[in-house]
Amino acid sequence: MPLSLPPAARVGALLNEVDTPALLLDLAAFERNVARMQAAVSGAGLALRPHAKAHKTPAIALAQIAAGAVGVCCQKVSEALPFIAAGVKNIHISNEVGNATKATLLAEAARHAQMSVCADNARQIEWLAAATREAGTKLDVFVEIDIGQKRCGVAGSAEVMRLLDDLAPHGQLRFAGLQAYQGRVQHLRGHQERFEAARRASDRAAVVVAELSKAGVHCETVTGSGTGSVEFDLGSGVYTEIQAGSYVGMDVDYARNEYAGALRFEHALFLACRVMSQGDGTRAVVDAGLKSLAVDTGLPTVWGREADYTIISDEHGTVIPRSGPVPGLDELLLLVPGHCDPTFNLHNELVVFRDDRVEAIWPIAARGLSR
Looking up residue 20, the CATH number of its domain turns out to be 2.40.37.20
Tens-digit pLDDT profile for residues 172-184: 999 999 999 999 9
Is residue 286, in this structure, part of any structural domain at all? Answer: yes
DSSP 272: E
CB 177 within 8 Å of CB 222: yes
Mean pLDDT of 139-152: 97
Q: Pick from 224, 254, 284: which residue ends a domain? A: 254
Residue range of the domain that includes 350 = 15-24+265-363
pLDDT confidence bin for 1, thresholds 50/70/90: low
- Phi/psi at 313 (5° precision): -135, -170
Question: Is the pLDDT at 2 greater than 80, yes or no?
Answer: no
Structure confidence at residue 330 (pLDDT): 98
Structure confidence at residue 262 (pLDDT): 79
Q: Pick from 254, 283, 302: which residue ends a domain? A: 254
Same domain, 216 and 278: no
Same domain, 217 and 277: no
Q: Pick from 211, 226, 254: which residue ends a domain? A: 254
Question: Is the pLDDT at 284 greater than 80, yes or no?
Answer: yes
Q: Distance from CA of residue 13 to its chain's centroid?
A: 29
- Phi/psi at 315 (5° precision): -125, 15
Count of domains observed in the chain? 2
Of 22-36, 58-72, 255-269, 279-293, the range with the lowest mean pLDDT is 255-269
Q: Which of 322, 314, 227 is nearest to 269 (CA)?
A: 227
Is residue 38, in this structure, part of any structural domain at all? Answer: yes
The CATH number of whichever domain residue 240 belongs to comes to 3.20.20.10
Alpha helices in 278-325 (DSSP H): none
- The verdict on pTM exceeding 0.85 is yes
Question: Is the pLDDT at 237 greater than 60, yes or no?
Answer: yes
Same domain, 282 and 205: no
Tens-digit pLDDT profile for residues 17-36: 999 999 999 999 999 999 99
Is residue 102, in this structure, part of any structural domain at all? Answer: yes
> What are all long-range contacts of 341-344, with beta carbons under 8 Å and residues at least 24 apart?
341/53, 341/54, 341/55, 341/245, 341/246, 341/294, 342/294, 342/296, 343/23, 343/251, 343/269, 343/271, 343/292, 343/293, 343/294, 344/23, 344/54, 344/55, 344/56, 344/57
- Phi/psi at 298 (5° precision): 130, 165
Question: Which of helix, strand or coil describes residue 193?
Answer: helix
Contacting residues for 51 by C-beta, under 8 A, at least 6 apart: 72, 73, 74, 75, 94, 226, 243, 244, 245, 246
Contacting residues for 35 by C-beta, under 8 A, at least 6 apart: 67
Question: Is the pLDDT at 350 greater than 60, yes or no?
Answer: yes
Tell me how crowded residue 265 is: count the other CB atoms within 10 A of its CB.
Answer: 23
Same domain, 58 and 19: no
